[in-house]
């Protein structure tokens, strides 16, 4: 019985870790702009596609330029893949003018909802949050 419990815990841990090394494709239909206390300041109905690989993040809001970020670090812990857990990604994004900004992206699953929150180091008083509608592994 003890070995079975240890095996189940190991399998859960491995499935959570394996999710961290996958290429992911996320979609969202709502973008919320929050202040530093997480109060929603503005909501926009817009479709967005988010691609996450081991090396980069692509954020493509419908009708806007794609933001490309080079991942500088990533940690994650998913106890139930795609449902319960958290990934924290630090990335460097380049804006259309060539300026680089640093951002922290948190992808969190809780209460059957997956949310992605992005905070640029240079704008700590403003956060962007999207509710993930679909979460798929990509080849």
Which one is the CATH code of 2-138: 1.25.40, 2.40.128, 1.10.287, 2.170.130? Answer: 2.40.128
pTM of this structure? 0.81
User: Do 128 and 118 contact (CB within 8 A), yes or no?
Assistant: yes
Three-class secondary structure of residue 36 per DSSP: coil
Q: Where are the beta strands (DSSP E) in 14-112?
A: 23-35, 40-52, 56-61, 67-80, 84-94, 100-110
**pLDDT per position as a tens digit, 20-68:** 677 999 999 999 999 988 899 999 999 999 999 999 999 999 988 889 9
Q: What are the residue ranges spanned by the domains of the chain?
A: 2-138
**Of the candidates 110, 69, 65, which has an alpha carbon nearest to the alpha carbon of residue 93?**
69
Split at pLDDT 50, 70, 90, the class of 91 is: very high
49 is written with which tokens?
């596609």
Whether residue 119 has pLDDT greater than 90: yes
């Amino acid at each position: 019985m003890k070995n079975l419990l240890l095996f189940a815990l190991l399998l859960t841990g491995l499935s959570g870790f394996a999710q961290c090394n996958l290429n992911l494709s996320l979609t969202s239909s709502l973008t919320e702009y929050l202040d530093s206390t997480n109060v929603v300041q503005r909501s926009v109905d817009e479709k967005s596609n988010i691609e996450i690989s081991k090396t980069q993040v692509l954020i493509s809001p419908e009708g806007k330029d794609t933001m490309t970020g080079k991942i500088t670090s990533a940690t994650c812990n998913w106890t139930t893949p795609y449902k319960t857990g958290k990934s924290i990604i630090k990335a460097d994004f380049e804006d259309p003018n060539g300026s680089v900004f640093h951002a922290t992206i948190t992808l969190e699953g809780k209460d059957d909802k997956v949310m992605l929150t992005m905070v640029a180091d240079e704008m700590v008083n403003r956060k962007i949050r999207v509710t993930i509608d679909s979460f798929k592994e990509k080849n």
